[in-house]
Amino acid sequence: MTLAKRKSKLALSRDNRWRLRKFVADYGVYIALLILLLVAALLTPKLFAVDTIAVVMRQASQLGIVAIGQTLVLLVAGLDLSVGGIFIMTSVVVAEVGNGRNEMIAPAILTALALGALVGLGNGLLVTKRRVPPFVATLGMLVLVKGATQAYTRGVPGGFVPEALGIVNQSWFVLSVPLALWLGLNAIFIFVLRGTTYGRRVYAVGSNIEAARLSGIPVDAIRISVYVLGSLFAVASGIVLTGYVLYVDRFIGSGLDLDSIAAAVVGGTAFIGGRGGLLGTIAGVLIIQILSTMVVLLGLDVEVQFIIKGLVILGAVTLYSVASTES
């Protein structure tokens, strides 16, 4: 009798703990987003105009798409710093292959995706086969990709971005092409992560690589595939960005690499892998984007944005850290 009673009591306290932890992990970032929106309602009501929402969502999509890939890579306890190089490479490829001709858009995109996959493969092989820490492997690839793009273009990307790529700037009220793409990719990959064997394996590899190996999961193949996916999402973001500016830009997407990590981390994806997911990242992306829009709406200096962004990252991880720390 007493034993049973004690057991149920123990179970209850364990129960509360993991439920609290899970609540913070799953919804903490949404609470933060809600608070941010309340602050915005007081300071910048303009944020809630349909036009503003449309702009915020479209800009968020550019970050959001690459953040999907970054989240996947973080889930297997990785990191991808090479995305910045991929943006530039994509922009150059679209201009060089596309060369102003709309019928060349598809070949241009395919070329960019193929090259992106190659970069991802390089990242994955370095991390799995040579056991290079992801930070260093993807940093090396970043320098390499930038250098290769530079060598190929000899400093000057030739060609033109085909005008039809401007389709990504189309929108119907709030729904723009990038937003649709972002939401669509999120829907697909939320399902992939939750409902498919592949998704399970991604989490398993990130959560405990040795256990995953002993469970018969081809861990190297999973990790390589995730790096390839990460690069492909970077290409997708690069294409949206290129269509956005319709111009080859050497600095295209600068800052989005670190922002994508920040978005995932703020969204609750753990740096050590296996924990978090895309729902959190969506909120992380929105927080970062709304903050930068508010800075413009308030007419604040850009430097303030850096400080706020840093504090938001720290605040979010502190929350997760405190919530997950055992007694």
Partner 1 sequence: MTISTLQDTTLDTLRYGKEQIMKKLFTLLLAISLALGVGAVSLAQDDDMSGMSFEFTEEQIAASPYLQSVLSRLEQSYDTSEFAKDGPYRIAFAAQGTSNAWSALMDAHAYWYVEHLGEDVVSELLYGDAQASADVQVPQVEDLLAQEPDALILVPMGAAALSAPVERAMMQGVPVVLCASAVETDNFVTEVGTNLWVVGASLAQYVVDQLDGEGNIVIMTGIPGVTTSDIMEEGADAVFAANPGIHVLDKQPGFWSPADAKGIMETWLVQYGDDIDGIWSGGAQMSQGIISAYLDAGLDIPPIGGGEWQNGFLRLALEHDIKYLAWQYPNAMITMCIDAALQILAGEPTPRFIDFSGVIPNSEPFTDVEGADYFREDWSDDVHGPITMPDEKLEELGFKVMDDGG
Partner 2 sequence: MNEPILEMRGISKSFAGVQALKNVSFRCQAGLVYGLVGENGAGKSTLMKILAGAYKADAGEIIYKGMPRETASTGEIIDSGISIIYQELALVPQMSVAENIFLGREPRNRLGILDLGQLHARSNELLSRLGVALDTRLSVSELTIAQQQLVEIAKALSQDADLIVMDEPSAILAGSELDQLFDIIAALKAQGVTIVYISHRLEEVFRIADEVTVLKDGEVVDSRPISQLDRPTLVRLMVGRSLDEIFPQTDHEQGDLVLSAEDIETDTILDGVSLRLHAGEILGIAGMVGSGRTELARALFGADPLTHGEVRLVGKSLQWKTPSQAIRAGLVLVPEDRKSQGLFTALSVRINITIPILSRLSRLGIVRRPAEEGVVINAQQRLSIVMTSPEQETQYLSGGNQQKVVLAKWLETEPTVIILDEPTRGVDVGAKFEIYKLMRQLNDRGIAIIMISSELPEIIGMSDRILVMNDGRVAGELSRENADEERIIELATLGSAEAQLA
Partner 3 sequence: MNGLGGIMGGQPQARALFLRRNGPIIMVYAFILLLIVIGATQSERFLSERNLANVARQSAFLGIVALGQMLVILTAGIDLSVGSLVKVSILVSAIVMNGENANVVPAILAALALGVLVGLVHGFLINELRIAPFIVTLASLVILKGIGLTISSSPVGKASREVMMFYVQKVGPLPVIALMFFVLVLLTMLLLRYTVFGKHLVAVGGHVEVAHLSGVPVKRTRYAVYVLCSLTAVVTGLLWLSRMGVGDPAIGDGIELQTITAVIIGGTSLFGGRASVLGTLGGVLLLGITANLLVMLGVSQFIQGLIQGVIIVAAVALYKQEGD
Binding site for partner 1 (CB under 8 A): 46, 49, 51-52, 54-55, 58-59, 95-96, 99-101, 103, 150, 153-161, 169, 171, 241, 244-254, 293, 296-297, 299, 302
State which of residues 67, 145, 185, 270 lies at the interface with partner 2 (CB under 8 A).
Answer: 270
Instruction: Of 292, 321, 286, give the one whose Cα is nearest residue 307.
Output: 292
State which of residues 98, 122, 274, 284 lies at the interface with partner 2 (CB under 8 A).
Answer: 274
Q: How many CB atoms lie within 10 A of CB 226?
A: 27
Query: Does residue 254 bind partner 2 (CB under 8 A)?
Result: no
Query: Does residue 321 bind partner 3 (CB under 8 A)?
Result: yes
CB 112 within 8 A of CB 235: yes
State which of residues 45, 100, 133, 184 lies at the interface with partner 3 (CB under 8 A).
Answer: 133
State which of residues 100, 147, 158, 218 lies at the interface with partner 2 (CB under 8 A).
Answer: 218
Find the Cα–Cα–Cα–Cα dihedral 262, 196, 321, 226, rounded to 10°.
-40
Q: How far is residue 129's CA from residue 140's CA, in Å, rounded to a whole number?
A: 15
**Part in contact with partner 2 (CB under 8 A); list of ranges 54-62, 142-150, 152-160, 198-206:** 198-206
Instruction: Of 75, 22, 28, give the one whose Cα is nearest residue 275.
Output: 75
Query: Does residue 208 bind partner 2 (CB under 8 A)?
Result: yes
CB 204 within 8 A of CB 214: no
Strand partners, 176: 171
Q: Among residue numbers 218 through 277, which ones bind partner 3 (CB under 8 A)?
A: 258, 261-262, 265, 271-272
CB 316 within 8 A of CB 266: yes
Contact partners, residue 311, CB within 8 Å, separation at least 6: none
**Binding residues for partner 2, how many (CB under 8 A)?**
34
Strand partners, 172: 175
Phi, psi values for residue 176, rounded to 5°: -110, 170
Residue 293 interacts with, from partner 2, partner 1, partner 3, none (CB under 5-8 Å by kind): partner 1
Amino acid (1-letter code) at residue 189 = F
Q: How far is residue 82's CA from residue 68's CA, in Å, rounded to a whole number?
A: 15
Residue 52 interacts with, from partner 3, partner 2, partner 1, none (CB under 5-8 Å by kind): partner 1
Query: Does residue 192 bind partner 3 (CB under 8 A)?
Result: no
In whole angstroms, the minimum distance from the beta carbon of 123 to partner 2 comes to 23
State which of residues 58, 223, 275, 309 lies at the interface with partner 2 (CB under 8 A).
Answer: 275
Kind and range of the H or E run holding 109? helix 105-128
State which of residues 45, 100, 158, 195 lies at the interface with partner 2 (CB under 8 A).
Answer: 195
Write out the two tokens for 82.
Answer: 């090479």
In whole angstroms, the minimum distance from the beta carbon of 81 to partner 2 comes to 24
Query: Does residue 146 bind partner 2 (CB under 8 A)?
Result: no
Q: Among residue numbers 110 through 129, which ones bind partner 3 (CB under 8 A)?
A: 122, 126
Amino acid (1-letter code) at residue 273 = G
Residues engaged in binding partner 3 (CB under 8 A): 122, 126, 130-133, 135-137, 139-141, 143-148, 150-151, 153-155, 209, 258, 261-262, 265, 271-272, 301-311, 313-314, 317-318, 321-322, 325
